[in-house]
Amino acid sequence: MSARLSPTLPVALLVLALALPAGADSGRPRARSGDAADEDIERGQLAPPSASASASLLVSYARHMFARQDYPAAAEALERAYAREPRPIYLFNAAQSYRKAERYADATRCYERFLIFAPNHTLAAEARDHLRTLQVLQEQQQKRREIELAIEQTQQQLEKEKFTAVYKRPWFWLALGSAVAGTIGVVVGIKLYRDQRDSHTGTLSLQF
């Protein structure tokens, strides 16, 4: 006498089959929704966009680099985005990034280009304000380089005359006093500028 199958058995087998992993694909990660590029950036695995990257991809990359305080990378990506899609706001954001990186000459160049192409933009007044302060900062940077050069030359002179009581020589005190005074002036100037700018939250983030 043959065994009779329960009428519920096919349904049970179907439920079991659906619950099991799909064979060879069971060990593979499933594709997830969302921006994969953002996830890669968060893991620090995203390389700079390729030469053919779109403006939107470059801007996304720049936003993440700015958030990670990699300001030069953000600025360069934004300039590339502008070359792809000439929106003046990209120049403003590039200038912001260069300014945060203390690359004041590049920041000045981007602010000036922004004002050429968008003189009536809502951020134009802020750009002009930055240009005025950047001029002072560039002068201070030049003075700092001159001070560093003077200190280096003084050290070289000390090496040449290390067997002489250099504190008895007038040039030693003159060089030392100039370097100290100049350094204090530069440091104070930059500190005041940063305090002033950091109080303006509009300068601390990119504008999109």
Percent of the chain with pLDDT over 70: 56
38 burial (CB, 10 Å; 0-12 / 13-18 / 19+) is middle
Residue 77 pLDDT exceeds 90: yes
Residue 151 pLDDT exceeds 70: yes
What number is the average pLDDT over the span 25-49?
A: 53
CATH code of 49-203, in short, is 1.25.40.10
Lowest average pLDDT, out of 12-16, 86-90, 106-110, 204-208, goes to 12-16
Mean pLDDT of the chain: 73
The most confident of 93-97, 136-140, 146-150, by mean pLDDT = 93-97
What number is the average pLDDT over the span 133-152?
A: 84
Residue 131 pLDDT exceeds 70: yes
Q: DSSP letters of the chain? A: -PPPPPTTHHHHHHHHHHHS--GGGGGSPPP-SS-HHHHHHHTT-PPPPPTT--HHHHHHHHHHHHHTT-HHHHHHHHHHHHHHS--HHHHHHHHHHHHHTT-HHHHHHHHHHHHHH-TTSTTHHHHHHHHHHHHHHHHHHHHHHHHHHHHHHHHHHHHHTTTS-GGGSHHHHHHHHHHHHHHHHHHHHHHHHHHHHHT-GGGSS---
Task: Give residue 47's pLDDT band: very low, low, confident or very high (50, 70, 90).
Answer: confident
Backbone torsion region of residue 53, taken as left when φ is above 0, otherwise alpha when ψ lies between -120 and 50, otherwise beta: beta
Task: Give residue 27's pLDDT band: very low, low, confident or very high (50, 70, 90).
Answer: very low
Q: Please, which contacts does 23-26 make with residues 24 or more away whose CB atoms are closer than 8 Å?
A: none
Question: What local confidence, expressed as pLDDT, does residue 201 receive?
Answer: 33
What number is the average pLDDT over the span 101-115?
A: 96
Indicate the pTM of the whole model.
0.58
Domain range annotation of the chain: 49-203
Residue 172 pLDDT exceeds 50: yes
Question: What local confidence, expressed as pLDDT, does residue 9 receive?
Answer: 41
Residue 150 pLDDT exceeds 70: yes
d(CA 192, CA 25): 61
Task: Give residue 89's pLDDT band: very low, low, confident or very high (50, 70, 90).
Answer: very high
